[in-house]
Amino acid sequence: MGPVTLLTVVVLAVFVGFEVVSKVTSKLHTPLMSGANAIHGIILVGAIIVAGQAGDPWVLGIALLAVVLATVNLVGGFVVTDRMLEMFSLHKPHKPARTSAPNAPETGPAPAGGAAGGGPPGGGSSGDGVTGEAR
């Protein structure tokens, strides 16, 4: 095959791959990633086999580079899959930590009149102190 044919195949493969992956629903991305990781594992094994049978130093160098890149791709795929699975896991609600002493009473919300203990009774800004009416 000539270079134009190979380039055409690569461009079409990229286009078809993008279209297929973009049409997958979000619930199916995790199984898709797991399947892709299985394929990446097979590619890694193939790169190791080629590196083991390389007779030419250039072929060995390229094969070792393929092993490194396939390993990075495989590990990265597992990291992304793990993060995706964490999104689907049920987390227990986090209880806030107590900052007071273990036997100290809980402090409740502030009174309806404003600041705790401040201001006139009845919640008014001025008044006779009993009914909250103005003087």
How do residues 92-133 score in pLDDT, each as one tens digit? 666 666 666 666 666 666 666 555 555 555 555 555 555 555
pTM: 0.50
Domain that holds residue 68: 26-88
Question: Residue 47: pLDDT above 90?
Answer: yes
List the Cα angle 48/45/54 in 5-degree steps. 25
80 φ/ψ angles, rounded to the nearest 5 degrees: -65, -40
Q: Is residue 46 part of a domain?
A: yes
Q: Is residue 60 part of a domain?
A: yes
Q: Which of 26, 36, 42, 1 has the alpha carbon at shortest distance from 88? A: 26
Q: Is residue 109 part of a domain?
A: no
Q: Is residue 4 part of a domain?
A: no
pLDDT value of position 40: 86
pLDDT tens for residues 63-99? 999 999 999 999 988 888 888 788 877 776 666 666 6
- Count CA within 13 A, CB hemisphere, residue 35: 6
Q: Is residue 83 part of a domain?
A: yes
Task: Count up the domains in the chain and report the number.
Answer: 1
